[in-house]
Structure 1
């Protein structure tokens, strides 16, 4: 399976040293994971399949070269750092509310010498007003349910830009539950990118397009987003 994963990564990468960068990323991640809980997935094979490949899944269909990318609630850097390693030309902003994770992200950026990549330690719903319509692509992986996620992230996106969200087997249910907020936020589901490589995979990337500017009242405070059903 790893051979197939490596072939896929090589096919989407614009960085001839991607394998070496991921090997170093893995070493930093596993060492740091002994100090703080960054991820439950730290096995070498699982790192490539469940973190790297999964993060790169949409790169066959979406061209991110030279774009301004915001990765919301990035955690240990997925998918943002994977995209940056594979496509070095992107301008990457990693947003993470947990300071210890931000320190780790800064360490990876420094040790891998990643240019045009920065980390911001703050809540996304607050930062979205500061970075209103600054993102060519906004993305998030393993961050909350879709209804909350759409509200928190949509303001970052430029009009006609992509919002790419990584989801699992229950994505259809989440789409149904989010139908009202999708319309309210002036978004449209453009594509569902499925995993064609790993048999019986439940991973998909939901590809939304922002049709018009986000209404002024969104996003609300996190407590309202969390506690009020839209």
Structure 2
């Protein structure tokens, strides 16, 4: 066994070096697209934080998903975030697997160019929708009586552009239609469905997306319409 490992190690190192050289060449050609996509993630965060200043808490709207899906409760709201973290991290790791494993050829730089392009397109639509219509947030910290439900006017522009970090990231309200978590999950699952090789993992990915949808509703982080529109 040690002899086999020692024999395979140089092959793995050559594989990694080969992939790195190819990816560097692709990165040099596409870095502007990647950078633009990454910068827009920040701009999307600024837009989502900005709409919180417009949010006005009110009675939770009637929602068929809330009738059908039992409420998890505030103490178990972390479950949907945990599943999203699993989906996110698994996809990121998969995009870098060509550096190590021999399988269907994908290029990490090109995959992320396409993923970010789809994310940006979806996020532009999302910004337009949640600024067009502000709904009273169903999340616990967005309801009437919560001190986090409304934000006072910003004291400086830095409070907006810095997203009031970290509270502005964790306790946002108003950016409802449609779910950002589902945008990421569905883009990731759809990308793996197109470029992945394991049929089981493709089906499992779609199953996770469905479970994620249900958990978001059960956590009362979004209305059902936010999930339906995202799909």
Larger radius of gyration: 2
More strand by share: 1
Q: TM-score, normalised by structure 2?
A: 0.26
More helix by share: 2
Greater length-normalized contact order (CA 8 Å, ≥ 6 residues apart)? 2
